[in-house]
Structure 1
Amino acid sequence: MVDINAWTVVLAAGITAVATGLGALPFLFVRDFSGWWLGVFNAAAGGLMLAASHSLVAEGTALGAGRTLGGILTGLVLILVANTLISREEDHDVAELAGADARKALLILGVMTAHSFAEGVGVGVSFGGSDELGVFITAAITIHNIPEGLAISLVLVPRGTPVWKAAGWSIFTSLPQPLMALPAFLFVLVFEPVLPVGLGLAAGAMIWMVFAELIPDALEEISGATAGAAVTLAFAALFAFQHFGLHM
């Protein structure tokens, strides 16, 4: 018989997924983008993803450094394979984008969706430990997901995707969270050992995405100094958001 707390876990993970869509809200107020701003947005998205990767690696290391390292290397291999397969297909149409923009959209949506599997397992495993820990982890991931939705929107909206669709795609990438939270809660002993692998896998793929796609695109529009400042400020903002947001 399923414990009633199982449905609480699904609801909690669903809230974390919906929160990702909030990252698109700033674009309701800013709609016209010059090339300079597009470069800054790419760099900022890279900084947000680097900060998220740092958080994932730190969490994974606390659970198992070796498994986290294995996950990072696996994530690198998988994203390289995905990029090769996507590049072979010339016709892409994603989020009202086409060509190279659609390829980037596919990659970032794929990376962020893979990342959400690990977060969903994290929610379920934490509730398997205690209700208090589960609530804390859920709140932390909810706060963490808003900038992730912003990172996705920073790539999609300036290239022509409507704000509401960017919000929808952001939520879509987080749907694995409620899907994975319930089985992880019900079978903690099975899922807990693979959690650091999943965290490392997502981090490895995100780090590649930053340096192979987002930063080179940013440097086509802005100087290295400006890109570095945008990356650092975005990293610092997400770091502060994650570590101080729960205490405000």
Structure 2
Amino acid sequence: MEQIILISLLSGLATGIGGLIVLWFGRPDSRVLGFYLGISTGMMGMVVFVDLLPASFTYGNIKYTWIGLLIGILIMSLVDWFIAKFLPLSNHLNQIAEERYYRQLAIFFTLAIALHNLPEGVAIGAGFETQEKLGIRVALVIALHNIPEGLGVASTLMLGKLRSLTIFLIPLSTGLFIPLGTWISILIGEMVPYWISIGLSVAAGAMGYLVVKDIGPESMKLHRLLGQFGMGIGILIMYIVYQLNH
């Protein structure tokens, strides 16, 4: 269990890499972010359809897979609803100071990413419950996905004129919710029959929601061509990973 939590922790702390990139090189432009989010979209989509869903069918049945999918999508929908309801953003910079606006935006991003990281931690835990290779692949993909999340939070903190240490530590702290999700996953797995099947499909539903609702559209919005190119690169990377693991 300790090894799984450690791997999950390292995956989560990749958000800190995004903070360091912003501190060293400044805020990345929309083209770079669009390309990187496109890569994350392609890789996460492959993990959902090639790893998580087939494994869920293997360790359970279609009923448990559907239950898990619906739970994962519902969780992410509730997270989005909660954030939009209780942390509304103002788009009128002339009504409040610009620095205060960006600090508000940073709080929004931080909470959103932290809450989204919980089911990603569940994905790592459920992956290790099936086979070590799957758990490591999921952890690697989530780590790569966490870098642009760290970029987004750190960029808004920098625009809010916060201190360098804060710009690094806040994105890093969001990654701690991933090992928390993994720990919860392991605890539930010891108590609930068919948890492996349900847990894998919960992770598939949550990650699929992120791909379709959040990071995929965001990559296309930032830069359509580079977003699409990044998706292709992400799919190619995962194809190579699967070939190397056979």
TM-score (norm 1): 0.71
Which secondary structure state, in structure 1, belongs to the residue aligned with residue 222 of structure 2? coil
Mapped to 1, the partners of 2:103 and 2:236 lie a distance apart of 30
Q: Which amino acid in structure 2 is aligned with residue 15 of structure 1?
A: L
Mapped to 1, the partners of 2:17 and 2:109 lie a distance apart of 21
Q: Which amino acid in structure 2 is aligned with residue 61 of structure 1?
A: F
Distance 1:81-1:233 versus aligned 2 partners, 3 A rule: same
Identity %: 15
Mapped to 2, the partners of 1:118 and 1:31 lie a distance apart of 32
Q: Which amino acid in structure 2 is aligned with residue 175 of structure 1?
A: L
Asked if residue 226 in structure 1 is aligned to residue 226 in structure 2, the reply is yes
Q: Could you tell me which residue of structure 1 aligns to residue 115 of structure 2?
A: 110
Q: Could you tell me which residue of structure 1 aligns to residue 52 of structure 2?
A: 56
Mapped to 2, the partners of 1:122 and 1:230 lie a distance apart of 25
Deviation, 1:193, is 0.7
Deviation, 1:203, is 1.3
Mapped to 2, the partners of 1:42 and 1:119 lie a distance apart of 20
Distance 1:105-1:68 versus aligned 2 partners, 3 A rule: farther
Q: State the Cα deviation string for residues 210-237 of structure 1 (Å, max 9, x = none).
A: 22222222222212x3222211212332
Deviation, 1:83, is 1.3
Contact 2:69 2:204 in 1 (8 A): yes
Which secondary structure state, in structure 2, belongs to the residue aligned with residue 202 of structure 1? helix
Which secondary structure state, in structure 2, belongs to the residue aligned with residue 174 of structure 1? helix
Q: State the Cα deviation string for residues 68-96 of structure 1 (Å, max 9, x = none).
A: 1221122222322221121111358xxx9
Which secondary structure state, in structure 2, belongs to the residue aligned with residue 220 of structure 1? helix
Contact 1:45 1:155 in 2 (8 A): no
Distance 1:121-1:191 versus aligned 2 partners, 3 A rule: farther
Which secondary structure state, in structure 1, belongs to the residue aligned with residue 194 of structure 2? helix
Q: Could you say what the CA RMSD is over the residues aligned between the two structures, in angstroms?
A: 3.1
Mapped to 1, the partners of 2:110 and 2:243 lie a distance apart of 29
Distance 1:19-1:197 versus aligned 2 partners, 3 A rule: same
Q: Which amino acid in structure 1 is aligned with residue 72 of structure 2?
A: G
Asked if residue 35 in structure 1 is aligned to residue 30 in structure 2, the reply is yes
Deviation, 1:25, is 7.1
Q: Could you tell me which residue of structure 2 aligns to residue 154 of structure 1?
A: 148
Contact 2:72 2:201 in 1 (8 A): yes
Deviation, 1:120, is 2.4
Deviation, 1:183, is 6.6
Distance 1:207-1:97 versus aligned 2 partners, 3 A rule: farther
Q: Which amino acid in structure 2 is aligned with residue 17 of structure 1?
A: S
Deviation, 1:105, is 4.6
Alignment equivalent of 2:39, drawn from 33, 44, 55: 44
Mapped to 2, the partners of 1:239 and 1:107 lie a distance apart of 30
TM-score (norm 2): 0.71
Alignment equivalent of 2:104, drawn from 92, 98, 103: 98
Alignment equivalent of 2:76, drawn from 75, 79, 98: 79
Q: Any stretches of 5+ residues in structure 2 without a counterpart?
A: 90-101, 158-166
How do residues 69-218 of structure 1 correspond to structure 2 at under 5 angstroms? Answer: 69-90=66-87, 98-99=104-105, 102-123=107-128, 125=129, 137=132, 140-159=134-153, 160=155, 162-163=167-168, 165-181=170-186, 184=189, 187=190, 190-218=191-219
Deviation, 1:207, is 1.5
Deviation, 1:118, is 4.6
Q: Which amino acid in structure 1 is aligned with residue 136 of structure 2?
A: T
Displaced runs of 4 or more, over 6 A: none
Deviation, 1:114, is 1.6
Deviation, 1:151, is 0.7
Q: Which amino acid in structure 2 is aligned with residue 172 of structure 1?
A: F
